Amino acid sequence: MRKLNHRTKLRTAMAALLTSTAFGVAVPAMAQDAADTDSDVIVVTAQKREQNLQDVPIAINAIGNEKLDQLQVSELQDIIKFLPSVTIQQGGPGFAQVYFRGVASGENANHSASLPTVGTYLDEMPITTIQGALDLHAYDLARVEALAGPQGTLYGASSMAGTLKLVTNAPDPSGFYGSAGVELNTVAHGDFGSIYEGFVNVPIAEGAAARLVGWYRNDGGYIDNIAGS
């Protein structure tokens, strides 16, 4: 008897999306340099340039890479638990609605209806959808930035209430390295689940590198899928 699992294909597609955005030419990582000199400094890109969090004149919350690891977040819902004034309404994988300060435009999953009030960005690429926020697997992220709105001039449409920005780790030309992890889990009265994730950072030339990231996640089902029922 097979248990229902709706997330596997979605996670695989999201892995391909993040892999495509993680490949590129590296630029000097000021955020990393700042972290090396002063561990208390948090560098964000909320205003389209790297700034110390203390110097950003807007309402912003940021969670860095080290904190994300400590909190053991693995998906968008986990991240939002630690962001004040941000809430999420889950309707299944790919059908989540994110809210800042409780502001909503009455989304009804109809593509001819009103746009979401919270914009979602992966690095500098908008991934906002009308039907629901993309439930990206939270792996190899440099930080998460929550910008309370409105954010009209910098982030465009769908940012009336705010913008949620997921920033990936940039390619690093300083050396070749990588990491991999495996997780096995089980659901009470259900099936086993697993997560396989990894990344590799490859220097190409002086000042240039590629960073490839991928994962596969299979959540164990707990509803019996009986043929003909």
Domain end call among 141, 168, 195:
168
Tell whether 75 and 136 lie within a shared domain.
yes
Q: Quick: pLDDT tens for 22-50.
A: 443 333 333 444 344 445 676 777 667 77
My answer on whether 58 and 135 are in the same domain is yes
The predicted structure's pLDDT at residue 203: 95
164 and 176 belong to one structural domain? no
- Domain match, 61 and 136 both: yes
Last residue of a domain, one of 151, 168, 185: 168
Both 149 and 184 in one domain: the answer is no
Among the listed residues 219, 206, 166, the one whose alpha carbon sits nearest the alpha carbon of residue 10? 219
Q: Quote the domain boundaries for residue 67.
A: 28-168
Same domain, yes or no: 127 and 153: yes
Does residue 78 sit in the same domain as residue 22? Answer: no
Q: Kindly state whether residues 107 and 203 are assigned to the same domain.
A: no
- SS3 percent helix, strand, coil of the chain, rounded to 5, is 20, 35, 45
Q: What total of structural domains would you count in the chain?
A: 2
pLDDT digits (tens, 9 = 90+) for 125-149: 888 877 777 778 888 998 888 888 7
pLDDT at 3: 53
Mean pLDDT (whole number) for 46-55: 72
Model-level pTM? 0.69
- The dihedral region occupied by 155, where left means phi > 0, alpha psi between -120 and 50, and beta the remainder, is alpha
pLDDT of residue 149: 74
Both tokens of 46, joined, read 């909320």
For residue 204, what pLDDT is reported?
94
81: domain CATH number is 2.170.130.10
Question: Looking at the structure, do residues 159 and 61 belong to the same domain, yes or no?
Answer: yes
Instruction: Quick: pLDDT tens for 173-213.
Output: 999 999 999 999 998 888 999 999 999 999 999 889 999 99
Asked whether the predicted pLDDT for residue 59 surpasses 80, the reply is: no
Residues 46 and 151 both lie in one domain = yes
Amino acid at 122: L
pLDDT confidence band for 76 (50 / 70 / 90): confident
Sign of CA dihedral 19, 78, 221, 180: positive
Q: Of the residues 124, 151, 168, which one is the last residue of a structural domain?
A: 168
Please compute the mean of the pLDDT values over residues 52-75 and round it to a whole number. 80
Q: Give the percent of the chain with pLDDT over 70.
A: 72
